[in-house]
Amino acid sequence: MSDPFLSSDEYDERAHQLYNEGQYDEAIDILREGLSLYPHAVELHVGMGYARLAREEFAWARRAFDEARGLDPDHEDTLAGLGEVLLKFGERAAALACFDRVLALGFQDDHDLMLQIGRALFREGALDHARRFFEGALRAHPDSADAAACVGYAAHRLADEGGSLHWLRRALELDPGLGEARIYLANLLYDRGEYEATLFHLERTGPEEHYDALAIWRLIELKKSVYRLPDDDPELVPWNERLTELAGDAAPEDLLLSEIEAMGPDGQIRDPRQLELFGTLLTELQGMKNTVGEIHRVSTVTGSTYVGTWEEIVQQMKDDAAEWVAGSLEEYMAASAKRWRKQTGVAIPATDPESFLRASPDAGGLRILH
């Protein structure tokens, strides 16, 4: 039980501290107590929304943010939090409206808020929009290593390899200790066959900075190859120990898959250039990962770019068309196909997302980039 006679600000401060420590249950208890005394305190409702969001209690989070917005419609943290929840419910157009309202209110110079919004969009695959907020943060704060790194991550997911390499290197110029950016860059360089540069960067990281086994496997194999180290060399011990720690957190099917993929037809471990054990993106990017199925990239005649599986791309296109937010994918594809046929005379199938998108360039509706 908290001390009596605390102000609403003191309740908010205590809850915020607990939230930062990952003690979400305790934060909610403090916020609930504070709201019983100060039901009109916007900050307490906002805090409740973020605590619920952290526990993935999205319906409760939405309710908390709605209550906060009822008290202050233009509270920037409310709008950002509500937008993030709306993304979880698939209400992309409404979420973007919240985020754009934050910009309209003049908060484009708020570094942390821009990165928060960008990361929320990145997690849900709205990569063009995510990059826009990351770049906004970078314009306002050109010396921000975090912003530069985030632009690099988004550029990579948008198939802009040159931009990704540039901004990841810029992030490391600004903050050489930014481990996640260095590991990400090392993986990109490895995939390009630049093994010396890969080793250069990986050797400047520590085992504790890795939350994905891919880069560790690559580092071990490169060290063994370049320095002719035996498997039991003391220099490799901390890296193998970190692999063991990560393996302890992996599901059994992931471990089996990694063993199969690491082994060649003769039963020997593959050359390090072929090691692709756990995917190429880093799980340490706080959930900024969404790689289900084969990823494609298309661009519309209006300049919008969409990235994802065929179904995800059509879903994003539908959500960006305000009049179709409540409609189904099938209805959206049928209406679009009908409109394009009327405008161009070209008939395209609307039976499934892949057929719809692959045929759309013939009608001039979009371009398939990847």
- 55-94 tens-digit pLDDT: 999 999 999 999 999 999 999 999 999 999 999 999 999 9
In angstroms, the CA 129 to CA 165 distance is: 20
CA angle 322/323/325 to nearest 5° reads 65
In angstroms, the CA 346 to CA 348 distance is: 6
- What are the domain boundaries of the chain? 1-107, 177-289, 296-368
Looking at per-residue confidence, does 330 or 175 come out higher?
175
In angstroms, the CA 296 to CA 118 distance is: 21
Mean pLDDT of all residues in the chain?
A: 85
pLDDT value of residue 250: 55
Give the CB-side neighbour count of residue 54, counting CA atoms within 13 A.
18
- 244-293 tens-digit pLDDT: 998 876 555 454 444 444 444 444 444 433 333 323 343 334 444 443 45
- 81-127 tens-digit pLDDT: 999 999 999 999 999 999 999 999 999 999 999 999 999 999 999 99
In angstroms, the CA 116 to CA 128 distance is: 15
| pTM listed for this prediction | 0.69
In angstroms, the CA 209 to CA 207 distance is: 5
Fold of 1-107: 1.25.40
Q: Which two tokens stand for residue 158?
A: 């948008």
